[in-house]
Amino acid sequence: MLCKAVTQVKKNIAFLMIVSDPEIARYVNENGVDKLFVDLETMGKEARQPGHVSWKSSHSLKDAENVRAAAPEAHLLVRVNPLHTGTGDEVAAVIDTGANSIMLPMFHSADELTRFYDIVNDRVEIVPLIETHGALISTPQIAKTLPLKTVHFGLNDLHLELGYKFMFEVISRGDLEEACAALKDRDVLFGIGGLARAREGIVSPEYLLGEHVRLGSSAAILSRTFHRSSESLLEMKQNMDFAHEVAQLRAIYDDFHTKDAAGLERNRKLTVDRVNDLVQLLEKS
């Protein structure tokens, strides 16, 4: 059952961007990106997503060090590998790079996440990445028992585990409703998936950001459409007005905060229709 849509308390949205190039990191930090995201996760990803068109990182600890040096005042988030025997050493190495927060992917239970909290031991902020069914259904318990500050929902692996054809079905089918409500009840900040540039993407931000507002999300990762295959800062500047693109997303998010419950519900239904249309196309292909 969907949670009743209500008018949301105004929040600002934080944008994360996966980046390893120091010049690009400095530039995007100065032009609207709130958290720089270095991704060290490699374990098990290819096996989980064989032949799937998705982000697969080649980042290294050196990239994290270089990004930190290029943008010393920025918030640096580093995603590590899923919990394994070497997690303690990996966490220590990431902390040495100057990371402000560490993201744990692919955990399945409150017990696993508790073990990670014990390993980190309050040295940096932890960002649990909820991208398994086990983590999703454990979210209400986790919100009650762990000192959560920020959480992110990863739609790619989650939709695959749930057997869906399209990642935004996780939103349109209502799978996030209970978990988001539990986090809101505990005043835990959270983000959902990624966003393309305005008027782009299979489901554009003009729909998705309304669902962010309705669910209470206040963060998103900027998708690959913000890179445009740019190999350098010069190419990025040639490809787009980056600050303007980020500002457009903020404006859409802010506009949804002016909508009443009925307006947010209308957008939810439009989003569901859009996702269902795309799923039908995928089923025919």
- Structurally, the chain folds into a number of domains equal to 1
The answer to whether residue 128 sits within a structural domain is yes
Measured CA to CA, the distance from residue 140 to residue 110 in angstroms comes to 10
pLDDT grade for 192, boundaries at 50, 70 and 90: very high
pTM: 0.92
| Domain region containing 34 | 14-284
Angle, CA 53 vertex, CA 243 and CA 213 arms, to 5°: 45
- Does position 6 have pLDDT exceeding 50, yes or no? no
The answer to whether residue 188 sits within a structural domain is yes
Model pLDDT for residues 214-264, shown as the tens digit of each residue: 999 999 999 988 987 788 999 999 999 999 999 999 999 999 999 999 999
The answer to whether residue 271 sits within a structural domain is yes
- Does position 71 have pLDDT exceeding 80, yes or no? yes
| CATH code, 96 | 3.20.20.60
Measured CA to CA, the distance from residue 146 to residue 113 in angstroms comes to 9
pLDDT, residue 161, reads: 97
Model pLDDT for residues 110-148, shown as the tens digit of each residue: 999 999 999 999 999 999 999 999 999 999 999 999 999
> Which tokens sit at 122?
């309050």
- Does position 62 have pLDDT exceeding 90, yes or no? yes
pLDDT top residue among 8 and 197: 197
The answer to whether residue 4 sits within a structural domain is no
The answer to whether residue 9 sits within a structural domain is no
Measured CA to CA, the distance from residue 15 to residue 12 in angstroms comes to 10
The answer to whether residue 5 sits within a structural domain is no
The answer to whether residue 227 sits within a structural domain is yes
The answer to whether residue 1 sits within a structural domain is no
